[in-house]
Every structure is written in structure tokens, then in C-alpha cells.
Amino acid sequence: MPPLNLLPPTPLEYFASLVQSDRDFPLLEAAASLAHDEYPELDLQQVLSEVDRLHARLRQRQAGRGITAGSVLERIQGLNRFFYGELGFAVNRNDYYDPENSYLHQVLQTRRGIPISIGVLWLELARGLGLDAHGVSFPGHFMLKVLLPQGQVILDPLTGRSFSSEDLAQQLQGQLPRLALYSDETLPLGLFLQSATPRETIARMLRNLKEIFRVQGDAPRALAVQQRLVVVLPQDWGELRDRGWAHDALGQAQPAMADLQAYLEHNPQAPDAREVGLRLQQLRAQT
């Protein structure tokens, strides 16, 4: 009988176990686990317990005001008073692109973060109040959405302020060049206000980190993030290609070739197929 493997899972293996299925996807735990690459000794259960304690305090505040079972808007207002007023969650204006802003245990400690990390915490508390709350992967700014008996309200996760349709249209207008769209293209605003799945939310958090480490030129951390992106988006061949580039940047020829070859096999007509193919030939010639 072979010996039992009692080794604990690696951070990447643990992450893979969390995101393998879209059914009952543990958004909070998956988001908190992104810090494991930087903080391998992080106790995720402590992070989850801290959020549970915040929720218990919130329920106590709501009960004291007699709005535990109040209307949707009353519960949102109560949550915002607690979350932004009492707890003081806000944007980290001093260092917006610090990767620590994406690590939930740090956001819980400092009360500072970016829209998506603060938004994930807000969503967890909102759902604990029975609110039908969702993230919105709006271009340029992650948002929150709560469904009402009639309609919906879109909120800024940095302040809890609601956006009007005019606010949203203006913000979208500013993002059109980045999206390679033109102002005369008539795309309905609602197209950009669809609920983000937990998987999409985690992918966006990872892509934020990916861009930060790219700008910093931090190849080892970029590869660690890219490994997670391939796990959470296994059918996104562009992420597989980018993992190949990340391996290549670190001089890891064999895994780089494997990823770039797989990318070309799945995307033979990709716009960058020639570039990838040339690099693949160079790597083969060097090995």
C-alpha cells in the first residue's frame, strides 16, 4: 500500500480547489486566498472569522435601529453607515497601485483598498443582510448592484453613493477609447451593468495585480499571478499565452514553449500567431 500523501496543498492547489466549480463559488475565501503568494502563512479562517464578526456587529446595529427586516433601501443605508461611517472603509488615495490593496486581510486591517477589494467585503455583508447584491465589472471601475422589488440601484464601492444613469453614461463615455469603441456606437448602458460572476470578479482582481507587477517589472510575482489566472480561466487561451511569456521572462524555456505551443494549437489564426511562432522557434533553437 503506497504511503499517504499528508503534505498540505500548495497555495495554487488550494486556490484551484476553491475555484474548480461555479456552483457555490466561495468568493470571499477565493479573494482572500490571493494573498497567499505574498503571505504563505496567512490563516484564511482568521480572515473569514473577522468578516463574520463584522457581520455580527452590523446585525446588532441594524436590530438596534429596528431595520433588520426593513426595506431594501433601509438595509443598504444601514450597511453604508456601518461600513463607511463606523468602520471607515475608503480608497487608498496615497498608494492606489500598491498590491496590498488587493489583499483582503490587509484591507480589513487598514480599512483602505481599491473598488473591487472593498466591494467584495461589502457584498459579503450585504448578502448576510439578505440583499440581492452583485458585483458589476464596469469598465474602469468595479461597481455594486442591488436588485430592488422594482429595478436596481448601482453603487460606488468606495463611498456607497448611488450612481444615476447620467453618471454611468458619462463614466462609460470616458472608457470608450480604452475599449476601442467610438462615441457614436450605440451600445446600451445595461450591457455594462450585468452582474459579474464570482469567477469574473476573481479574474478581475488577478488582472489588476497582473498589471501592477507588469508595470513594476516584477517577473516572479507576475508569473505567480498568471498561474492563478490560468487556473481560474482555463479556457482563456490568452492567459495561457501570457503565462508562457511570464515563463520566458524568467528564462524558463520548457514551460514557456509548452504554453506558447498550446496557445497556437488553440488559436492558429490569432493576430499575434506569427509573433508567438517566431519566439517559439527561437526558444527551440536555444534548447
pLDDT digits (tens, 9 = 90+) for 130-156: 999 999 999 999 999 999 999 999 999
Domain count, the chain: 1
Residue 68: which pLDDT band, with cuts at 50, 70 and 90? Answer: low
pLDDT, the chain, mean? 93
Rg over alpha carbons for the chain, rounded to the nearest Å, is 21
Q: Could you read off the pLDDT of 245-254 as tens digits, one per residue?
A: 999 999 999 9
49 within domain boundaries: yes
Residue 61: which pLDDT band, with cuts at 50, 70 and 90? Answer: confident
d(CA 46, CA 64) in angstroms, rounded, equals: 27
Q: Beta strands 112-113 and 90-91: pairing type?
A: parallel
SS3 224: helix
Give the pLDDT score at 67. 63
Higher pLDDT, 183 or 100: 100
Give the pLDDT score at 7. 84
CB 76 within 8 A of CB 131: yes
138 within domain boundaries: yes
SS3 145: strand
Residue 208: which pLDDT band, with cuts at 50, 70 and 90? Answer: very high
Average pLDDT (213-220) is 97
Please state the separation of Cα 227 from the chain's center in Å.
Answer: 15
27 within domain boundaries: yes
263 within domain boundaries: no
Return the beta strands (E) in 139-179 as ranges. 143-147, 152-155
Q: Is the pLDDT of residue 170 over 80?
A: yes
Percent of the chain with pLDDT over 90: 83
Closest CA to 117 of 174, 77, 157: 157
d(CA 164, CA 179) in angstroms, rounded, equals: 22
38 within domain boundaries: yes
Closest CA to 53 of 87, 25, 81: 87
Q: Could you read off the pLDDT of 75-93 as tens digits, one per residue?
A: 999 999 999 999 999 999 9
284 within domain boundaries: no
Spatial strand order in the sheet of 133-136? 152-155, 143-147, 133-136, 195-196
272 within domain boundaries: no
Q: Is the pLDDT of residue 183 over 70?
A: no
Residue 180: which pLDDT band, with cuts at 50, 70 and 90? Answer: low
Residue 186: which pLDDT band, with cuts at 50, 70 and 90? Answer: low
Domain containing 100: what range?
11-234
208 within domain boundaries: yes
